[in-house]
C-alpha cells in the first residue's frame, strides 16, 4: 500500500467484517458473550469440562471466599501432561505431528504425539531418579528446542512447578530467580544457536552456582551446540546419559486443580522481580479455550506457529499448554528472524504451510522496515489467521500485517493479556467481531473489563483516558506472588480497592465502544514486548562503583515500542576521569555492559546520559516525565514543581553539547 492510500485507510476509520467463509467454521460464536454474561461460573464450568479431561470432576466452580486469592474448579483433579499428550494418543491421534522443529542451522525434527508421549515419560522418569517429586521446583534455562517443551511437560507430569528463565537473562538474574524459588534442579544446554553462532548457556548457570549460596543439587545439560563446558562432577549430568535409557512409559498422577504448575518471574514497579505463580485446572482451561476461540485452532487441519520465546508467558500458554492441550500441530523455531537472511520466517511459513501465525508488533515493525519485497518472495497462501501480542499494535503496522502477510484476507486478533492473567483477556473473536486496526476491542466471553478514572469511577465516554481493570475473577488468573502474598494484594488489588484487579495499563474507549490499550501507567517499560522495570535497571546501574545515582525512562522507539534511556550521576572520582578526552564514551559503554551483566542484554540502555543533577520534586521524587521529554526530544514540560528548576536546562545543554 502506498503512503497515500495507507493514510486514506487510517482516516476512513476502517473496520473489517469477517468473511462468511471464516465465520461458518469459526470456533468462537457470538452467543458466547451472552451465555457468559448470564452465568459467569456456569460458562467457565462448561469450558473446563469441554477442554480438559479431569481424573476427578470438580465440585465447586469458583471459591472466591478468600479474595483476592481465588480457587477454581475446587475438588477437581487432573494431570496437565496427560491432557497435553497422552489423551491425544489414546484418542487415536498418536501419528499427528505435535512439533515441527526447525533449528536455526537448518536441522529439523518431526515429533508426533506418540513420540512426545515417550519423550515426556523418559524425562519424567529421569527427573524422578534425581529425586524431583511433587512440589519440588525446577529451573529451566534453555533455548527454543523440543527438550525444553519436554522438560516443562515432565515437570507438570510430576507436579514439580517449573520456573523457566529466559535464555537472554544473565547469571546474576538467574541466581536471584533460582534462589527465590529454591529450585533443586536446573535444566540447561551447553549453548544455543544465535545468528549462526553457538552462544554459551551453561556457563551462566556455572557462574550463578559460583555464588555458593544456592539450593541446587543437580544440573541436567542437553547437548545442543557442542560448546565446551566446565563440569562439576556429582552435580552435572548430561541429558543423553540420563534420559535416553529411561523407560518410555510413565504413569501420570492426578494433581489437585489448585496445585502450582509454574512460577514465572516478571518485572514490577520495584527492583525485585515478582515470581508470578499459576496453578493447574483453571490455567489449562483458559489456555485451551482461548487458543480455540481466539486463535481459532482446528487441530485436525491447522499448522499453528507462535513465534514467542518459551521463556515468556506467551511461550508457556501458547506454545506449550494451550495448543498441546488442544492437540494442535505447531512449528517450533529456534533462531532469529534474520538468520541466514531476512526472509527466514516466510520460508518457514511456506515450508510447513503455516495457517495460524501469532507474533509481536515489534517483529511486524521490523519486517516493515526490511521491506515488502521480502515476504513477497514466499508463498504465504496457507495463512488464514494472524495474531498479535505483547504491546499495542499501531494501525499502520496492523494494516501492513494484514496486507503483506495476510494477503488482505486473514483476520488479525490483537490480544491483550499479561503474565499475571495467564491467558488472553481482551481480543476480538475471529469470525464474529468486526476488526478495528490498533484496538484489542473487547473482553472475550467470560472476562469482564472496565476503565476507571483517577477517582476509581467506571466510565464509558469515548476518547477519555483511564485505567484498565478487571472486575471478575477468571480461571487462569495468577494465584499470587511466590512467597509474598502481601505484595500480591498491594500490587493488584489496592489501587482501586479489592473489587478491581489493577492491570497497570492505560486504556480508552473509541466511539464504537472498542477498548484501546495505551501502554503501562507504572514504572514498567515494554521493549520489544519484553517487560523491564525502570527500578531494576536503576539499581543495576547504581551497583556500578562509578555511579552515584541513576534514573531510567522508557522513550518511544519506532521499532521496539519503547527503548531504555538512562540518566546517571557519577561519583566524584569518576567525574574527573570521564572529563578526560575520549573517556566519557568508554564509560557509557562500560555501564551498558554492566547492565547486561546484571540483568541481561535485553536490558541494555539504548542511551546513557551522564548528568550533574536529576530533576527532583521538593520531596525528592525523580520526575521521570521530564526525562522522558528529553529522551524523546520534546519540549520539556512543566518544571514548576522541581526543587531546582534550572536542572532541566543544564540537562538540555548537556544534550546539545553531545555529552
Ligand atoms: C502489554 C505478555 C497492548 C501490556 C502477554 C501488558 C499489550 C503487558 C498487549 C504484559 C496488547 C500485552 N495491546 N498492550 N495486545 N499485550 N500488552 O506480562 O502493557 O510480558 O500489561 O505479558 O504487555 O506483558 P507480559
Report pLDDT digits (tens) over 341-389. Answer: 999 999 999 999 999 999 999 999 999 999 999 999 999 999 999 999 9
CA gap 463, 465 in Å, rounded: 6
Listed range (73-77, 240-244, 392-396) with the worst mean pLDDT: 392-396
How many whole angstroms from 347 Cα to the centroid of ligand 1?
28
Tens digits of per-residue pLDDT, 542-579?
889 999 889 999 999 999 999 999 999 998 888 777 66
Rounded mean pLDDT, 607-621: 84
CA gap 333, 310 in Å, rounded: 11
- Hunting for cell 542484554 — which residue is that? 601
Contact 459, 451 (CB under 8 A): yes
For residue 228, with 0-12 CB atoms within 10 Å meaning exposed, 13-18 middle and 19 or more buried, which class applies? exposed
The whole-number pLDDT of residue 422 equals 98
505 is in an annotated binding site: yes
353 is in an annotated binding site: no
In the chain, what is the straight-line distance between the N-terminal and C-terminal CA atoms, in Å? Answer: 41
Is 314 close to ligand 1, i.e. is its CB under 6 Å away? yes
Tens digits of per-residue pLDDT, 6-17?
555 555 567 999
CA gap 497, 501 in Å, rounded: 8
The whole-number pLDDT of residue 599 equals 92
How many whole angstroms from 262 Cα to the centroid of ligand 1?
19
DSSP 8-state assignment for residue 494: S
Q: Give the mean pLDDT of the chain.
A: 93
Tens digits of per-residue pLDDT, 153-178?
999 999 999 999 999 999 999 999 99
Rounded mean pLDDT, 454-480: 96
Residue 139 has pLDDT above 80, yes or no: yes
Atom number, ligand 1, closest to the C-alpha of residue 519:
19
Contact 595, 541 (CB under 8 A): yes
Is 520 close to ligand 1, i.e. is its CB under 6 Å away? yes
Alpha helices in 501-646 (DSSP H): 534-542, 572-579, 583-598, 624-631
The whole-number pLDDT of residue 1 equals 42
Rounded mean pLDDT, 136-152: 98
For residue 382, with 0-12 CB atoms within 10 Å meaning exposed, 13-18 middle and 19 or more buried, which class applies? middle
The whole-number pLDDT of residue 582 equals 62
The whole-number pLDDT of residue 2 equals 47
- Hunting for cell 460464536 — which residue is that? 29
Is 139 close to ligand 1, i.e. is its CB under 6 Å away? no
Please spell the DSSP secondary structure of 66-134, one letter per residue: TTTS-EEEET-EE-HHIIIIIHHIIIIITTSEEEEEE-TTS-EEEEEHHHHHHHHHHHHHHHHHTT--T
Contact 204, 170 (CB under 8 A): yes
Contact 605, 590 (CB under 8 A): no
Rounded mean pLDDT, 508-532: 91
The whole-number pLDDT of residue 581 equals 62
- Hunting for cell 534455562 — which residue is that? 141
Residue with more model confidence, 164 or 582: 164
Listed range (141-155, 589-603, 623-637) with the worst mean pLDDT: 623-637
For residue 65, with 0-12 CB atoms within 10 Å meaning exposed, 13-18 middle and 19 or more buried, which class applies? exposed
Instruction: Tell me the percentage of the chain whose pLDDT exceeds 90.
Output: 82
Tens digits of per-residue pLDDT, 419-465?
999 999 999 999 999 999 999 999 999 999 999 999 999 999 999 99
Tens digits of per-residue pLDDT, 225-278?
999 999 999 999 999 999 999 999 999 999 999 999 999 999 877 667 899 999
Element (DSSP H or E) covering residue 222: strand 218-222
**At CA 409, angle to CA 4 and CA 9, rounded to 5?**
20
Residue in 262, 3, 40 with CA at minimum distance from that of residue 137: 262
Residue 619 has pLDDT above 90, yes or no: no
Contact 432, 25 (CB under 8 A): no
Q: Provide ipTM, 2 decimals.
A: 0.99
The whole-number pLDDT of residue 189 equals 98
Rounded mean pLDDT, 40-53: 98
The pLDDT confidence band at residue 89, using thresholds 50, 70 and 90, is very high
Task: List all residues 6 or more positions away from 145 whose beta carbon is below 8 Å from its beta carbon.
Answer: 101, 103, 189, 222, 224, 332, 334
The whole-number pLDDT of residue 656 equals 58
Ligand 1 binding pocket mutation candidate from 267, 358, 390 (most atoms within 8 A of CB): 390
Amino acid at each position: 500500500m502506498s503512503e497515500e492510500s495507507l493514510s486514506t485507510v487510517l482516516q476512513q476509520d476502517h473496520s473489517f467484517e469477517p468473511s462468511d467463509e471464516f465465520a461458518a467454521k469459526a470456533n468462537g460464536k457470538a452467543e458466547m458473550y451472552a451465555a457468559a454474561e448470564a452465568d459467569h461460573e456456569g460458562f467457565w464450568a462448561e469450558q473446563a469440562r469441554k477442554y480438559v479431561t479431569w481424573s476427578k470432576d470438580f465440585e465447586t466452580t469458583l471459591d472466591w471466599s478468600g479474595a483476592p486469592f481465588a480457587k477454581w474448579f475446587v475438588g477437581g483433579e487432573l494431570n496437565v501432561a496427560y491432557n497435553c499428550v497422552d489423551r491425544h494418543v489414546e484418542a487415536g491421534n498418536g501419528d499427528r505431528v505435535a512439533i515441527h522443529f526447525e533449528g536455526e542451522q537448518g536441522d529439523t525434527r518431526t515429533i508426533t504425539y506418540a513420540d512426545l508421549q515417550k519423550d515426556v515419560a523418559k524425562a519424567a522418569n529421569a527427573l524422578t531418579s534425581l529425586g524431583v517429586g511433587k512440589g519440588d521446583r525446577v529451573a529451566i534455562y534453555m533455548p527454543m528446542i523440543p527438550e525444553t517443551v519436554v522438560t516443562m511437560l515432565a515437570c507438570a507430569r510430576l507436579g514439580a512447578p517449573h520456573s523457566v528463565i529466559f535464555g537472554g537473562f544473565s547469571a546474576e538474574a538467574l541466581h536471584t530467580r533460582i534462589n527465590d524459588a529454591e529450585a533443586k534442579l536446573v535444566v540447561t544446554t551447553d549453548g544455543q544457536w544465535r545468528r549462526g553462532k553457538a552462544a554459551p548457556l551453561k556457563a551462566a548457570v556455572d557462574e550463578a552456582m559460583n555464588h555458593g549460596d544456592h539450593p541446587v543439587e543437580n544440573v541436567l545439560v542437553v547437548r545442543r551446540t557442542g560448546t565446551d563446558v566446565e563440569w562439576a562432577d556429582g552435580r552435572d549430568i548430561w541429558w543423553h546419559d540420563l534420559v535416553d535409557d529411561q523407560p518410555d512409559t510413565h504413569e501420570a498422577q492426578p494433581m489437585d486443580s489448585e496445585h502450582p504448575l509454574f512460577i514465572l518471574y516478571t518485572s514490577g514497579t520495584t527492583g525485585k522481580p515478582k515470581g508470578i505463580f499459576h496453578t493447574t485446572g483453571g490455567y489449562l482451561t483458559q489456555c485451551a479455550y482461548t487458543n480455540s476461540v481466539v486463535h481459532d485452532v482446528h487441530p485436525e487441519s491447522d499448522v499453528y506457529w507462535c513465534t514467542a520465546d518459551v521463556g515468556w508467558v506467551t511461550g508457556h500458554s501458547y506454545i506449550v499448554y494451550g495448543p498441546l492441550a488442544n492437540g494442535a500441530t505447531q512449528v517450533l523455531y529456534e533462531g532469529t528472524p534474520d538468520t541466514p537472511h531476512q526472509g527466514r520466517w516466510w520460508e518457514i511459513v511456506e515450508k510447513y504451510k503455516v495457517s495460524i501465525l501469532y507474533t509481536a508488533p515489534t517483529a511486524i515493525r521490523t519486517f516493515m522496515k526490511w521491506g515488502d519485497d521480502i515476504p513477497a518472495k514466499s508463498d504465504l497462501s496457507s495463512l488464514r489467521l494472524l495474531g498479535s501480542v505483547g504491546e499495542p499494535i499501531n494501525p499502520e503496522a496492523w494494516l501492513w500485517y494484514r496486507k503483506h502477510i495476510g494477503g488482505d484476507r486473514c483476520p488479525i486478533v490483537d490480544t491483550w493479556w499479561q503474565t499475571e492473567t495467564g491467558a488472553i483477556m481482551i481480543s476480538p473473536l475471529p469470525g464474529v467481531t468486526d476488526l478495528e486496526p490498533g484496538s484489542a476491542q473487547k473482553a472475550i466471553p467470560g472476562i469482564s473489563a472496565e476503565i476507571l478514572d483517577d477517582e476509581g469511577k467506571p466510565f464509558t465516554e469515548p476518547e477519555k483516558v483511564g485505567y484498565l481493570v478487571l472486575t471478575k475473577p477468571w480461571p487462569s488468573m495468577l494465584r499470587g506472588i511466590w512467597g509474598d502474598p502481601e505484595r500480591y494484594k498491594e500490587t493488584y488489588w489496592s489501587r482501586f480497592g479489592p473489587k478491581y484487579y489493577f492491570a497497570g495499563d492505560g486504556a480508552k474507549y473509541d466511539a464504537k465502544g472498542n477498548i484501546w490499550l495505551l501502554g503501562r501507567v507504572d514504572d514498567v517499560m515494554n521493549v520489544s514486548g519484553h517487560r523491564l522495570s525502570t527500578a531494576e535497571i536503576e539499581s543495576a546501574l547504581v551497583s556500578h562503583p562509578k555511579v552515584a545515582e541513576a534514573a531510567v525512562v522508557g522513550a518511544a522507539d519506532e521499532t521496539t515500542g519503547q527503548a531504555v534511556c538512562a540518566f546517571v550521576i557519577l561519583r566524584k572520582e569518576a567525574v574527573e576521569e570521564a572529563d578526560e578526552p575520549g573517556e566519557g564514551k568508554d564509560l557509557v559503554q562500560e555501564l551498558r555492559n554492566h547492565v547486561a551483566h546484571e540483568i541481561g542484554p535485553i536490558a541494555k540502555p539504548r542511551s546513557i546520559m551522564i548528568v550533574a543533577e536529576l530533576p527532583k520534586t521538593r520531596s525528592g521524587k525523580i520526575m521521570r516525565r521530564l526525562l522522558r521529554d528529553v529522551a524523546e526530544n520534546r519540549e520539556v514540560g512543566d518544571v514548576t514543581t522541581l526543587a531546582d528548576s534550572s536542572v532541566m536546562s543544564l540537562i538540555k545543554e548537556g544534550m546539545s553539547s553531545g555529552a
